[in-house]
Structure 1
């Protein structure tokens, strides 16, 4: 085969000339073919560029910045310690710290004779990614970490002592509790856009208690002693007549309760430990999710004014242990709620029927 030839022996230069001539002769068709290929490839190249360019960069920043990974509830809600422990144990959760009500999480800080600044107080603890990845240590007792904007506004640096004041309205008087916090660190500017101070959870709980009117002895802040308040899982309503559908709806609408049933005598005794005289019409009003306070029971009583209803707040049985003088267990029993609210019709009388671990109570519609 001669040099410079391809395929069946045609000169390579001739092949190129024929291809160029065909392209020039069918230039419209060739142009359409090029545009069609470009129309298919251009979006694909654009998508690949976005995926491995801008989107990948944004994703990397999202994953690396702890502020973007933070999940914070927008409303205040009560969580149990067991629920928080289970949440912290999840494989997809790196850090968990409880908080307090947002309305109570503020304080006033100043540096000596400098300007006073109102700051948000946020909880933190050892291992907090927001602090670890932004150049600040976890604060200990009597310490805090400032956001960049807070430190800039106060003119504070690491090692400075902040004068902190917590204010509250107690009755008709304004009161304040004071303490000093040492600045243990200042966050990078990218960490937060708030003027905030990060402190241990114990300090936030003390601030919340003080604003609720309670005393905080460990900080020398005066106030009231904490008092336990009653909560109930439901209320037993006994009447001498049937309630209409509208009256039934009013018992759970706006009272804090969420469920109303007509239990049988056996079911009522099993749930509450009480037996009701068959002459009564009995309703069981229950809380939907968590126990409610006395104000909910009083709201039900108000809705039943003039009906001669008899109300018995109740809680589910609580297991209790009886301890001997030496600390050993002497026995166990179930504790049930007592304390009926009545409008004057009826009174309780003890029944001779007993069940293991509880005492049955019987309610009669007529005074005896």
Structure 2
């Protein structure tokens, strides 16, 4: 089957029918390249499965089917070399709720919840929302666009206090697009064990590694000693553009951790979204050809973006190694304290504000859109960033 990643799809409906956060947050003339929501039609196999489920006509309380658990087990074995068990899976409506549940389940009020910055904004709110103490450690910035962002183990350890109990980890990393090196992960694993921390490893972008031959290894699989203290989070939402179907999975090998997590979720989370579960199974069981087509498109878009950034004076970007998100340093671009606002006003392009990720002066750009829409947005940015 040939998948179409070229034809733009109208997502901004004047009547407000099927509104989306991405396309309806800003005025009609603004091109949105902000939230992590792609503009590609989701895999046809998913749509077919959803049509079949809708035709059934009844949407009562559902159960996670054994076939979905088995599909995720097969995906993990095939793509990551990690043989997980069906019983390890706790399905729930989204990764962000899972972060909060983990904080409530594994820590006590006042305990420290640690993460590295910049980071996906909800990470920075977990401690506050759950009555814990927020703790942050900065990553090591690249010295040039040829270098990647790196994990600063010294800064991370310096941020740990006697109250620190939980590390919120992002692997691969959002927003920088880093695919962590084995030596970085080994240092992290040693630190986690020595300080007796729990880890939530958000691996939402792990199926969108952009470099040829790249292979994702889950943190708990790479370092088996961590499995008893790690909750791994996966979802089809980014890989297959299914975010609105709110379906994610916490993979928890340790029975005690699993019971604590499940007990905390009881009464706080609704039962599984029956359509989200159907979509997840179709994606993991039959969505691989679509994913491969998507990766080819994203690699081309990354190359387009790299060439464009090279023409923008005083703008820096380490090319992302994963997903469809680029992290741009605009601190020296002459756009003031909030470059996101200036580009919105002067170019009519909506990007994500780096301040929300803990790093003002940066923006995150979503290049998961059609080539035509990307080119239009980049041409608008040219008018401001080339000046």
For the criterion TM > 0.5, the same-fold answer is no
TM-score by structure 2 length? 0.23
Highest CA radius of gyration, 1 or 2?
1
Greater RCO structure (CA 8 Å; 6+ sep) = 2
TM-score by structure 1 length? 0.23
> Which structure has more strand as a fraction of its residues?
1
> Which structure has more helix as a fraction of its residues?
2
